[in-house]
Structure 1
Amino acid sequence: MVAEVAAPPSRRETRALLARAGRLQADAETIVGALEAARAEVVAAYEVASEPQVWDAVGKMSIETVKDTVDGRARLDELPAHGIRSVADVLEAGPERLKRVPGIGEVAARKTMHAAEQLKRAARDSLQFRIAFDPKNAELTRLVRSLAVYGLVWDAAGKYEGQAKKLAGELGTQRPIAAPAEAGRLRRMFMRAGDKAVADEAAQQVRALVEGADGLSEAADQVRAIRKPKDKQVWRDFERRSAEYYGLLGQVVGLGGDVAASEGFLPADIVERVGAQKLDTSRLDAGLRLRGYQSFGARFALVQRRVVLGDEMGLGKTVQAIAAMAHLAARGATHFLVVCPASVLINWAREVDKHSSIPVVSLHGSGRARAIARWRTGGGVGVVTFGSLGALQLPPPRPAMLVVDEAHYVKNPGAQRSQAVNRVAAESERVLFLTGTPMENRIDEFRALIDHLRPEIAGEMGREHAAISVEAFRRAAAPVYLRRNQSDVLTELPELVQVDEWEEFGREDGAAYREAVRDGNFMAMRRAAFAVHRAQDSAKLTRLLELAREAMANGRKVVVFSYFRDVLTAVSTSLGTDARGPITGSTPVADRQRIVDEFTAAKRPGVLVCQIEAAGVGVNIQAASVVILCEPQVKPSIEAQAIARAHRMGQVRTVQVHRLLIADSVDERMIELLGSKAQLFDAYVRHSTIAQASPGAVDMSEVQLARMIVAQEQQRLAV
């Protein structure tokens, strides 16, 4: 039987193909051009906006700095007497004015200028640039606007950039070669066989390029639809999402900072190996912009395979773990496992779902057996509590990466959960322990953690490493331990980092909530998560204690806000001697300030407990850099004012805001309703005269909100 030979495409089909290829080439060029133009504008705007900060830096460099750089024979001692006291003064003076200073000739003036210019370049290269919130500053406004536009273009088409460059180049080459393939039959009869074959082959290559370009044209249409945002819009957006703007800026220009600190002061050989590791981000959400230190942390986990990531709280350990898992998933890995306290299980599920395309399965609760079966069969990120880990009966499947959050929970080798983690770690290809609790002075605890990962390293670590110095400890732990501090890697400090801490009700607090819903008691519903006799029976209180203790272990002071006095009583009781206050509506104003002053002056970190409407205004709490909100507020303006007590002028640390929220509860209903209200607020009245005069004027009615939520929850729970 003779095999059938596919008929060559008709002239009409070839013409349609080349026309489609032409449109696709234009789309590819649109994407490439838009991204290049957006980056170029960011670079140009940054150069202008950063110049005053560079000049400020060289203005602080004394003339002695120039002397150290110039040939020692140059006589520069007379410069201060002639008003030239800094590197900036040298640059502004220029060579002609320098030559008028006694003892400085043409050669010395030229060398002095050259030294000053070198110092200015060094200042620019090492600049820790910050964007001051100053909508009236034209240079900063241009930069913020350029970053907003770049972010829009990147979100629309960033993931297609490499493909677009390839298509624009190859279609530009192949389309002209393929053009004769659409010639009529008569013309093709007179074409040389070789030319015809070349044209047909080029047409096939064009077809392959066109058929492999799914989504690119839609991305180009989104890019064309982008309109330059208004200045007020970009400043409002920057105010809400400044970290993302710095992430965009870091993609385009260097932001200075201590490179060695961002790499955890690791030895050069480890840094070199990590630097050589490419990070595949194709399974990460396009809106996630990893900071440089976060990319380094994910690659460290991939290269070193079994490690502890001990970054200070607020640096995004969760995101780094997700990035490492996403890289492995992009390379074909299927099963991952996250072990964490019950208080953060739902938060992990939400973060994985938000930042990656990896399926996430909660291996906890009443449907645990079915969930485990689904995870075993379909793969993804399984999220399990320490208590439920033993029920998984691993292997199989063998996790490509085991992530253990709050890893200091397994520091006791004799505990059942430690032994369960150890069994799973032994079967996992890679293991990543996460803990924000510093370990430098707890060598026995740290060694117990390392024993899960690299027993040979744990066996070689002794108390003498910690006794000598932190540096000696880190050298011994370098193959397995990476820690960075906020002040080292977040060069734009201070900023506001906001985290929603989603929890789930347990038996006791869940029962209190259902009773409040049945009674139609809105206020009781809002504080039901704390209506328990023991801290361990409250998911919110458990998480609050974890956050507060970790913050204090890192030398940070904490302020806790709640609307309800009985919630504050439960928090204060659970914190014991670490609690300060409380400040409530019945606390006299003078006493409020005294409590704050004592909290500020205290050398030991503590937790200031405050009723939100009492301490949310009129009291400055810059000493605290961690804010914990026990429940959503009916008026968003009250929450904003409370946060502003710590996030204000004089604050030198990043302010971390943790909102304690319960999924499928009054909290989630309030976030949904007030979130839509906030969008209307932003879109229409934020800058109106009424809004400026009274931020609460546009907040949703408390009575209306309560009735709506109570009705929704009674219907959902069928009570």
Structure 2
Amino acid sequence: MARPGRRHTGTRRTASPKRRRVHASEDVLSVLARAVREVQAAVESRHVTPAVRTKFQAVALVVREEHARVQGRQTGSQASRAERLKRLDGIATILAKTAVRDPRLLALLAEDAVVSDAARSLKRDMLRAAGIDPAPEEIAPPEPAAASAGTDRRVVPQSVVSRQLANPFLAPDFSPARPSQVGSRRLAGWELLNPLLRSFERAEGGASACMDLPAPARLRVPGNRELMPHQAQLVAAAAAGHRTFLLADEPGLGKTAQALLAAQVANAYPLLVVVPSVVKTNWVREAGLWTPNRAATAVHGNGDTVDGFADIVVVNYEVLDRHVGWFGEFGFRGMVVDEAHFIKNKSSQRSQHVLELSKRIRSCTSRPLLMALTGTPLINDIEDFLAIWQFLGWIDETEPLAELMGSLEKTGLTPADPGFYAAARTCVIDLGIVRRRKVDVAADIPARRTADLPVELDEKVGRSIRAAERDLARRLVSRYETALANRRSGGAVDGSGIDHDLVRKVATWEQKDASTTGTGENVFSMMRRIGQAKAGLAADYAAQLARSAGKVVFFAKHIDVMDAAEEVFARQGIRFSSIRGDQTPASRQKNIDAFVNDPEVAIAVCSLTAAGVGLNLQVASNLVLAELSWTDAEQTQAIDRSHRIGQTVPVTAWRIIAAQTIDSKIAALIDSKAGLAARALDGSDENVWSSADVQHEALVALLTDALSAAS
């Protein structure tokens, strides 16, 4: 009986002796061209049978092997080899374009695709038909074990497939990787991981856990931005060739910028960045600010919107399991893990995926850039170090790897020697631990800063809010067009045909009507809805800060947002104080005292209006503004609860912004008006803009944008 798929190839071994005497590579090309046309015709007619898939895989196998054979030939002219490679690439391109139309065929192109016995047999027949005696094949490896539940969810985004089409049959051009281990001598037989951990528990005199860093690098940063000296030092270390960092600076010291610029000077592209979901959007935004010449993309869900050609790929832990397959084949030359304490539990899926990707990158790339970013690498105990060290390639499951082992050997000590622990700690630190506190670099940074953190709202809620924003814009446009048609005298019209005087009048009418009649969604109600939608995300970020940086003040305008945040903290086992306007003075003071004096109370949940003035909360240097203020003055007052006389460390206010909504417009307006006021008042902090002014300007901006889009 004929083997499966054989009768359809048109390449039976009954080919004439004359055909077999033709040059083998030409016959191979003829056989491949005929077979690929048959596959293409079957796909176009939507008649993709198992035999067609077998033929597709057999053709792919022969193309790969013939491509490698021609490249490795030393005989024949360079021109003839180039011509054959060109024809092979043409066949490969047809296969790739055909595969895009059928996911089952696309899967057969993967490097780890299981090769069926039928495809192996057909490949041998195709080679024989071309006059080539196939080499004896090794016994096929056993079928892989049943896929885990996580593997079942894995996807390959279409844009990544498009990237692969440029050269679909060749793996990325990885440089040779350095050996992972070297043989030890003095320390052979010693258990070393536990002594290494204990070396940090035995640190004496509060010695800084920070490697020696070079002088600050002189680096041109886009947009007239300046690096702080401590940031520039780490970038200089990367420029000098250092490639692994546990960057444990306290929050607010610019770890994101340091990582992005380190990747730039190390040319560690493509770069994979794994982050918590709450900061994913912000990472893409920061990449655009610090390295605008490098395209950045975020992976959402199944990656339908990912840019497969981007230099920087940002993914959150929650969806990493879906993409770990193609990540491992993408050719990343650098990897950054933000909030690296998230991987401390090595039995968790997120930790296993991160460690798997790190191992893959280290095995395929010479000296990749690996960075673990966390303000607190230790959450529960000293063993939390292990997963981070393993990600960085300093250790494996049982012992130190080559670089660390070599350093330990050079000490001439063993764990039985008194000086081993101090020397071992230094060996680990020198591999790339970088830790700076705010108090240590206070002269390098502003005493107070506001940092915007864009977040993506829940898909359903986000769609609803954006739909309400469009409805408001349509109502404003309709009102503008009616007024334009009824007016008698013209106003000032710019080149776009927009009467800006009338735009401002319409905004005033809308403001007045919104406060007296139920005309539908208005700016005020939309901002409240956005605040409710951000509540959980803002609370999650505040919880992260509390774990890594100590006490945090959480500000919100509305009671329901405070309630939602407190539910998040309660679920996560974080103690908090609640400071609200409806409390008695005694109750209010009791909660303030608990936050200030009790080290176990990590977060103060404060009403922006009730707690925004008159309180001293300088025990905290990090604040989270879950909802926007309507004025910069109100926002500044809230920040000043911590940033005040007696505060010994710089204060950072993290302003949570809902991306792709009017929230970002309001934030920009508040900032622009505050800047104008500051310049007008010669440096005064007083804000001359009222909340009504900002609401009015938001309506003006919304209507102007809608009119511009329609013109």
The TM-score, its normalising length taken from structure 2, stands at 0.54
1:495 maps to 447
2:557 maps to 563
Alignment of 1:600-615 (within 5 A): 600-615=596-611
2:663 maps to 667
Separation in 1, partners of 2:450, 2:425:
30
Which of 366, 381, 401 is equivalent to 1:442? 381
Deviation of 1:710 (Å): 6.8
Higher helix share: 1
1:415 maps to 348
Change (3 A) 1:601 1:312: same
Residue identity matched to 2:332: P
Separation in 2, partners of 1:421, 1:287:
35
2:371 maps to 432
2:331 maps to 398
Q: Is contact 1:474–1:481 with CA below 8 Å preserved after alignment?
A: no
Secondary structure, in 3 states, of the residue corresponding to 2:214?
helix
Separation in 1, partners of 2:302, 2:393:
35
Q: Is contact 2:669–2:698 with CA below 8 Å preserved after alignment?
A: no
Change (3 A) 1:370 1:347: closer
Secondary structure, in 3 states, of the residue corresponding to 2:222?
coil
Separation in 1, partners of 2:296, 2:537:
23
Deviation of 1:301 (Å): 5.0
Change (3 A) 1:528 1:459: farther
Residue identity matched to 2:560: D
Q: Is contact 2:337–2:373 with CA below 8 Å preserved after alignment?
A: yes
Q: Is contact 2:666–2:698 with CA below 8 Å preserved after alignment?
A: no
Secondary structure, in 3 states, of the residue corresponding to 2:257?
helix
Alignment of 1:634-673 (within 5 A): 634-673=630-669
2:222 pairs with 1:298: no
Residue identity matched to 1:381: I
Deviation of 1:279 (Å): 4.9
Residue identity matched to 2:378: M
Structure 1 segments unaligned to the other structure (5+ residues): 1-259, 533-537
Deviation of 1:469 (Å): 13
Q: Is contact 2:280–2:316 with CA below 8 Å preserved after alignment?
A: yes
2:567 maps to 573
Change (3 A) 1:569 1:265: closer
Deviation sequence 1:300-339 (CA, Å, 0-9, x none) = 456442332122212211111012012123xxx5422212
Q: Is contact 2:275–2:339 with CA below 8 Å preserved after alignment?
A: yes
Secondary structure, in 3 states, of the residue corresponding to 1:569?
helix
Separation in 1, partners of 2:335, 2:650:
30
1:627 maps to 623
Deviation sequence 1:2-45 (CA, Å, 0-9, x none) = xxxxxxxxxxxxxxxxxxxxxxxxxxxxxxxxxxxxxxxxxxxx
Residue identity matched to 2:259: A
Q: Is contact 1:345–1:383 with CA below 8 Å preserved after alignment?
A: yes
Change (3 A) 1:305 1:638: same
Deviation of 1:619 (Å): 1.7
Deviation of 1:500 (Å): 0.8
Alignment of 1:333-348 (within 5 A): 334-348=269-283
Separation in 2, partners of 1:650, 1:685:
26
Change (3 A) 1:646 1:661: same
1:454 maps to 393
Q: More deviation in 635-644 or 351-360?
A: 351-360
Q: Is contact 2:555–2:605 with CA below 8 Å preserved after alignment?
A: yes
Deviation sequence 1:321-368 (CA, Å, 0-9, x none) = 012012123xxx542221212211111111111122332322323793
Residue identity matched to 2:596: T
Change (3 A) 1:396 1:290: same
Residue identity matched to 1:662: A
Residue identity matched to 1:315: L
Deviation of 1:680 (Å): 2.9
The answer to which structure, 1 or 2, has the higher relative contact order (CA under 8 A, 6+ apart) is: 2
1:364 maps to 299
Residue identity matched to 1:400: R
The TM-score, its normalising length taken from structure 1, stands at 0.53
Secondary structure, in 3 states, of the residue corresponding to 1:592?
helix
2:312 maps to 381
Q: Is contact 2:339–2:375 with CA below 8 Å preserved after alignment?
A: yes
Secondary structure, in 3 states, of the residue corresponding to 1:613?
coil
1:355 maps to 290
Deviation of 1:528 (Å): 2.9
2:456 pairs with 1:504: yes
Q: Is contact 1:294–1:316 with CA below 8 Å preserved after alignment?
A: yes
Deviation of 1:611 (Å): 1.0
Deviation of 1:657 (Å): 0.8
Q: Is contact 2:539–2:568 with CA below 8 Å preserved after alignment?
A: no
2:264 pairs with 1:326: yes
Q: Is contact 1:495–1:655 with CA below 8 Å preserved after alignment?
A: yes
Which of 429, 434, 437 is equivalent to 1:482? 434
Secondary structure, in 3 states, of the residue corresponding to 1:701?
helix
1:116 maps to none
Q: Is contact 1:580–1:608 with CA below 8 Å preserved after alignment?
A: yes
Residue identity matched to 1:364: V
2:582 maps to 586
1:547 maps to 542
Which of 676, 693, 697 is equivalent to 1:701? 693
Secondary structure, in 3 states, of the residue corresponding to 1:437?
coil
Structure 1 vs Structure 2 CA RMSD: 3.9
Change (3 A) 1:581 1:414: closer
Deviation of 1:394 (Å): 3.2
Q: Percent of aligned positions with the same letter in both sequences?
A: 27
